[in-house]
């Protein structure tokens, strides 16, 4: 009985904290580690509910991740053309070889043009026959449908978009030219499309991130309801909000992290599944384009982002629901 | 210690549970709080633990003024109190040991000390052999004793108990009261809400009686026996 002693000062509340000031920090961290493990244990003991939640999170995160990776790689594919624009001059089919040579000389003399390459119509047809796979079909043609083409590379100091535009307009006016086409414009358009899609992917990502927040929030809300008695008693015997909130925040963090792992697995599985057909497609276009798997940086970012989303979802819900529980 | 000075508590809708209540419970004093149902006994306990805030007046518990206490300080006030509940409020999803350990976990005691303190508290209420049992397997009297062990495990300077013998037969009730007397003998203040008048009479501690006025619903206070309680 003599173990119960009455405190002698009026600062009993702070007394407890002060008495254990030295091992306080160690105590704090071991408390956190224990809380983290016990939250994980609770998830493990309710495998079905946990699996359902983290699958929803995983699918919601896999979608924008896959989309983002795909767009990034498509853009990388187009990047190679960005630096050196070229102009294709499709010549009128009535021109003879001599006339074409004359045009070439004129082009070489042009102040804005660096190099000129002639692809004769015959050669173009041969190339097309070997690369397109329509070889046999093309053999049946009585005349060559393709025009002679001059590939011009503008001088780099003359390649601002405005200058290129005016050069193309000027070339298009010459009587021998059927069509003058700036390949750069096509790359620009592709980039514009990719940028638009990137924005769209961002919108999708934001919406799905909100879905993740709501999913985690809902699980946490149920968990708070299940542990209502414990929360009420804890409040009555002096638990701070931080103390009561902590296990739920860890639960949210784990859910986010596990959901992120599932998302990563889904993305990797999808890439593996797509790899062979994409490579076959790329080979048809003489491209050595390969699907890149997400690297360490991308994977870690995804996991950190998903864990933080889980934490945020828990944070937003638990504060509100804990305030609803008033001890009686 | 507890000091109430002209305390009023009214609920939304105008119901006045407590009207102009003043009393003083010195440090280390044991006393009873009695009165008919609805006289405001539970409200007094709720005001002491800051589960409710008073509408007017001043309340001082363990030398801390509750009137101006900010919300974030409340947990620390409650840690200086040992609260025993009528329905004991034990958690049925964990064993006796973990129920008693909860206040220590909350207050951030190191693990090594938790085991020692929990066993000391269980020893005092004679339940050391039941530490691994689930509370649901215990009798009513044993459950209440676990509740008391949980209230004293942090060695509070003041125990407040809300009808701790409400669901127990007279023999068990007396046993519980003896426990409280033992804590009081080592200097812990004890305030027990009860309507077991026979026990109150037999034990002879100061009594604070809350009464509904016959003509109004005012809660009134009568100082029954000693100077510790004053009525204005």
Q: Which of A16, A33, A30, A246 is nearest to B153 (CA)?
A: A16
- For A90-144, the pLDDT digits (tens) are 888 888 888 888 888 888 888 888 888 888 888 888 877 777 777 677 777 777 8
Cα-based distances in Å from A292 to A68, A151, A279 = 12, 32, 11
Task: Return d(Cα A235, Cα B72) in angstroms, integer.
Answer: 12
Instruction: Provide the shortest C-alpha distance from residue A12 to chain B (in Å).
Output: 6
Please calculate the CA angle A322-A246-A225 and round it to the nearest 5 degrees.
35
pLDDT of A274 higher than 80: yes
Residues of A in contact with B188 (CB under 8 A): 4, 6
- Give the residue on A whose Cα is nearest the Cα of B100: A237
Q: Is B113 part of a structural domain of the chain?
A: no
Q: Is B173 part of a structural domain of the chain?
A: no
Q: Is B213 part of a structural domain of the chain?
A: yes
Instruction: Provide the shortest C-alpha distance from residue A311 to chain B (in Å).
Output: 22
What pLDDT, on a 0 to 100 scale, did the predictor assign at position A7?
43
Q: Poorest-confidence range of A23-27, A59-63, B130-134? A: A23-27
Q: Do B91 and A233 touch (CB under 8 A)?
A: yes
How many domains would you assign to chain B? 1
CATH numbers and ranges of domains, chain A = 31-80+189-324 (no CATH), 86-158 (3.30.70.3040)
Q: What is the largest distance, in Å, between two alpha-carbon atoms of chain A? A: 118
For residue B197, what is the domain's CATH number?
3.40.50.300
Q: Is B123 part of a structural domain of the chain?
A: no
What pLDDT, on a 0 to 100 scale, did the predictor assign at position A102?
85
Q: Is B83 part of a structural domain of the chain?
A: no
Q: Give chain B's mean pLDDT.
A: 84
Q: Is B55 part of a structural domain of the chain?
A: yes
What pLDDT, on a 0 to 100 scale, did the predictor assign at position A112?
82
Q: Is A5 an interface residue toward B (CB < 8 Å)?
A: yes
Q: Which of A7, A27, A240 sits opposite B110 (nearest CB)?
A: A27
Q: Do A238 and B106 touch (CB under 8 A)?
A: yes
What is the domain extent for residue B18?
1-74+193-232
ipTM value for the complex:
0.86
Q: Which of B29, B60, B72, B75 to mutate: most A Cβ within 10 Å?
A: B75
- Give the residue on B whose Cα is nearest the Cα of A26: B110
- For B156-211, the pLDDT digits (tens) are 999 999 989 887 888 888 888 999 999 999 999 999 998 878 888 888 888 888 87
Task: Return d(Cα B117, Cα B156) in angstroms, integer.
Answer: 13
Instruction: Count CB-CB contacts under 10 A for residue A29.
Output: 10
Q: Note if the pTM is more than 0.80.
A: no
- For A154-211, the pLDDT digits (tens) are 877 776 777 778 888 888 888 888 888 877 667 777 778 888 988 998 999 999 999 9
């Amino acid at each position: 009985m003599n173990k119960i002693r009455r405190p002698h000062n009026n600062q009993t509340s702070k007394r407890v904290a002060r008495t254990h000031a030295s091992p306080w920090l160690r105590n704090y961290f071991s408390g956190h580690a224990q809380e983290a493990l016990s939250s994980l244990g609770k998830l493990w003991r309710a495998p079905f509910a946990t699996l359902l939640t983290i699958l929803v999170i995983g699918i919601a995160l896999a979608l924008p991740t896959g989309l983002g990776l795909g767009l990034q790689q498509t853009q990388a594919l187009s990047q190679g053309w960005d630096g050196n624009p070229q102009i294709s001059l499709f010549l009128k089919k009535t021109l003879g070889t001599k006339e074409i040579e004359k045009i070439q000389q004129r082009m070489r003399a042009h102040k804005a043009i660096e190099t000129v390459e002639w692809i004769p119509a015959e050669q173009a047809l041969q190339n097309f026959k070997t690369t397109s796979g329509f070889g046999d079909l093309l053999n049946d043609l009585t005349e060559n449908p393709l025009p002679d083409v001059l590939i011009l590379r503008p001088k780099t100091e003359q390649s601002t978009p405005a200058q290129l535009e005016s050069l193309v307009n000027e070339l298009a006016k010459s009587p021998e030219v059927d069509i003058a086409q700036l390949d750069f414009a096509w790359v620009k358009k592709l980039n514009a499309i990719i940028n638009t899609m990137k924005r769209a992917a961002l919108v999708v990502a934001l919406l799905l991130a909100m879905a993740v927040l709501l999913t985690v929030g809902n699980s946490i809300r149920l968990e708070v309801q299940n542990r209502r008695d414990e929360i009420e008693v804890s409040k009555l015997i002096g638990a701070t909000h931080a103390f009561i909130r902590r296990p739920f925040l860890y639960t949210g963090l784990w859910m986010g992290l596990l959901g992120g792992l599932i998302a990563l697995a889904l993305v990797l599985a999808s890439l593996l599944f797509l790899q062979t057909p994409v490579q076959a497609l790329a080979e048809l276009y003489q491209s050595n384009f390969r699907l890149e798997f997400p690297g360490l940086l991308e994977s870690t970012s995804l996991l950190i982002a998903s864990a933080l989303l889980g934490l945020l979802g828990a944070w937003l819900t638990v504060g509100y629901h804990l305030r609803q529980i008033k001890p009686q | 210690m507890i000091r109430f000075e002209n305390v009023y508590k009214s609920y939304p809708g105008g119901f006045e549970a407590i009207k102009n209540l003043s009393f003083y419970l010195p440090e280390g004093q044991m006393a009873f709080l009695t009165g008919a149902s609805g006289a405001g006994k539970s409200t007094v306990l709720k005001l002491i633990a800051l589960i409710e805030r008073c509408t007017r007046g001043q309340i001082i518990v363990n030398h801390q003024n509750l009137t101006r206490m900010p919300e974030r300080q409340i947990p620390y006030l409650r840690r200086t109190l040992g609260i025993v509940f009528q329905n004991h409020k034990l958690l049925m999803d964990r064993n006796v040991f973990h129920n008693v350990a909860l206040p220590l976990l909350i207050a951030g005691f190191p693990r090594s000390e938790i085991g020692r303190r929990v066993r000391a508290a269980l020893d005092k209420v004679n339940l050391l052999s039941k530490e691994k049992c689930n509370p649901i397997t215990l009798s009513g009297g044993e459950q209440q004793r676990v509740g008391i062990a949980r209230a004293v495990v942090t060695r509070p300077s003041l125990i407040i108990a809300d009808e701790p013998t409400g669901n127990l037969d007279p023999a068990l009730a007396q046993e519980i009261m003896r426990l409280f007397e033992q804590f009081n003998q080592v200097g812990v203040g004890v305030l027990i809400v009860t309507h077991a008048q026979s026990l109150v009479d037999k034990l002879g501690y100061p009594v604070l009686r809350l009464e509904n006025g016959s003509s109004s619903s005012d809660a009134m206070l009568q100082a029954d026996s000693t100077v510790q309680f004053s009525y204005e």
